[in-house]
Amino acid sequence: MRKTVLEVAGLRRAYGPVQAVDDVSFRLAEGGSLGIVGESGSGKTTTARIVVGLEHADGGRILVHGRDRGDRVRGRARRLARAREVQMVFQDPFLSLDPRTTVGGALRETLRLHFPEADHGHRVAELLDQVGLGAREADALPRQLSGGQRQRVAIARALAVEPAVLVLDEAVAALDVSVQAQILNLLADIREQTGIGYLFITHDLGVVRCVTDDVVVMRHGRIVEAGPTAQVLAAPEHPYTRLLLESVPRPGWDPQGIAAARRAL
């Protein structure tokens, strides 16, 4: 049985009277892939941002390899070590890349911060090769790359610090379908090679079906269903999970009927 790399227990976060995340708990195994799925406003992105450390929780615990990420750490080295544990890839990598810095420069900056004694040139080439890019892309600015290439750069930069967990927040949602498939295949290869754990945040059940071992379904900040992906998608127990599956466009799909069913839940 694989060890747990990430454990989230009783997570809570409120914005005024709105409970964005309400008693959310799940586990991710080493080398595993867990999907958190739900519509806009379900609390999935807030959960991801808390796990990464971009937002604070009002309650609950987050542990990576059994270490509580809520514990106060002192010293620059320990803070950097904490930051390396969990990395995030966003939906639009263009917003997270410096438009004035080349791809190679961005990767070297990350490496200099976290591994000042490393051979940065060799590691940059290694990272680019890992995500299917090369010397040409290393010298390019973000605006000179396609959306798929920029997302590969964002993945390479996240991998540069050798995280235990990679959080992917709608990481392929803005890409064309063919490019989505390429990025998802790339991520599957990287997981197999490195043993990294993935936390996929998405509204796309197709992505969940393709790349996750387990899935958590969220609605209004709470988990309404969880389990192995194949089992949950084949025989959903909660009405909201069934509604999400029925909402996937297909021949004979009735968007008005789906909207009425959603209001009734």
Residue type present at position 32: G
Read off the pLDDT of each residue in 121-129 and give the average, rounded to a whole number: 94
| Per-residue pLDDT at 178 | 87
Confidence of residue 249 (pLDDT cuts 50, 70, 90): low
| Per-residue pLDDT at 70 | 75
| pLDDT above 70 for 248 | no
- Give the chain's mean pLDDT: 89
The predicted-structure confidence for 163-219, as pLDDT tens digits, reads as follows 999 999 988 887 888 888 999 999 999 999 999 999 999 988 888 998 999 999 999
Q: What does the DSSP assignment read for 239-260?
A: HHHHHHHHTS--TT--HHHHHH
| Per-residue pLDDT at 96 | 80
Read off the pLDDT of each residue in 229-255 and give the average, rounded to a whole number: 78
Question: What is the separation of C-alpha 242 from the centre of its chain, rounded to a whole number of angstroms?
Answer: 24
Percent of residues, the chain, with pLDDT higher than 90 = 69
What would the two tokens of residue 228 be?
Answer: 């192995």
Q: CB within 8 A of 13, min separation 6: which ones?
A: 19, 20, 21, 43, 46, 50, 55, 56, 57, 58
The predicted-structure confidence for 79-117, as pLDDT tens digits, reads as follows 888 888 999 998 887 788 889 999 999 999 999 999 988
